[in-house]
Amino acid sequence: MPKARDIVQRVKVMKTLPNIAVRLTRMISDDSSSLQEFEEVIRLDPTLVLRLLKIVNSPFYALSTEVESIAEAVAFLGMDNLRNMIVMDIFKHIINAAPSDSGFSRTNLWRHSAAVGVTSQMISERVFETKGEDAFLCGLIHDIGLIIEDQVVPEQFMNAFSACTGGEEDIMRQEDAMIGSNHTRVGWLIARDWRLPLAVQEGIRDHHAAHIKADPGSITGVVRIGEYLVNRMDLTPFPGKVSPLPQNLLDHMHSQIRDYKAIAADLPEILEKADEVFGLDE
């Protein structure tokens, strides 16, 4: 995939990715990193410190006492949630750095991505009774390749985006034809470079892969179902398009229809609450 690698390398050269945040994601994958080392690195980015404390003290977590130090915030969140918050911060940074004259809506992409992250975590925890942090992370950045393509190869990306918006054309087919790669490959390489969990890397790479029969309980399966539910709420970066769900995942949803109806009923309120915390800085 030389084209995908070229796109990722070019976005690094453009200095779009905040170095401290990327360094932290790599540290989290290293079990030898200490809490003191995390605190020292986080302090290097005052903006990151403020966002960390803002998120921990937000109504989303509803703490009884205010957290005032980095050490307290990290201890409360835990490594997985800290990683997710940092990756979220990187994603926001990339989106905010996108050209303002682009015809691609960064706001729609962010709302879609945040919604898929929250929904995937709900599915993982409610339906499969497993920890949902990795599902949230994968759902959050499954489409990160789109905004990177929009920055690095904007003309080719907009041609692909325009060709599939509101029609029957497939975005990945258009990306492959006009860019020489697609957002799943770009996102997979980014996740691998950040040393994110293997299941998260695979979920990003395979979330559109029609030839892969994903297990419903896998990160890939959960994110595909999460995106399907979110798109049906019209929270999509591609207006008017809802990608079909593989038959085995549809069969699974039908077998657990009561759980999924409850999730769908709860989603609007939960997403509204999450938007207050995870909303894109306008």
- Quote the CA–CA distance of 58 and 81 in Å, as a whole number: 14
CA-nearest of 14, 2, 12, 37 to 193 is 12
CA-nearest of 154, 34, 28 to 79 is 28
Residues with Cβ within 8 Å of 238's Cβ and at least 6 positions away in sequence, in order, are 161, 164, 165, 171
All structural domains of the chain, each given as residue ranges with its CATH number in brackets, are 1-15+100-282 (1.10.3210.10), 17-96 (no CATH)
Tens of pLDDT, residues 142-160: 999 999 998 889 899 999 9
Confidence band of 280 (pLDDT split at 50, 70, 90): low
CA-nearest of 50, 53, 20, 55 to 38 is 20
Cβ–Cβ contacts within 10 Å for residue 155, how many? 9
Highest mean pLDDT among 79-93, 132-146, 228-242: 132-146
* For range 82-108, the mean pLDDT: 78
Q: Please tell me the predicted confidence (pLDDT) of residue 282.
A: 47
Which sign, positive or negative, has the C-alpha torsion 281, 278, 215, 258?
negative
- Quote the CA–CA distance of 59 and 78 in Å, as a whole number: 18
The first and second tokens of residue 162, run together, are 């325009």
Q: What is the pTM of this model?
A: 0.86
CA-nearest of 84, 37, 75 to 196 is 84
Q: Please tell me the predicted confidence (pLDDT) of residue 216.
A: 96
Cβ–Cβ contacts within 10 Å for residue 259, how many? 15
> Are the C-beta atoms of residues 110 and 237 closer than 8 Å to each other?
no
> Are the C-beta atoms of residues 219 and 138 closer than 8 Å to each other?
yes
105 CB burial (10 A radius; 0-12, 13-18, 19+): middle
pLDDT higher at 168 or 226: 226
* For range 10-36, the mean pLDDT: 76
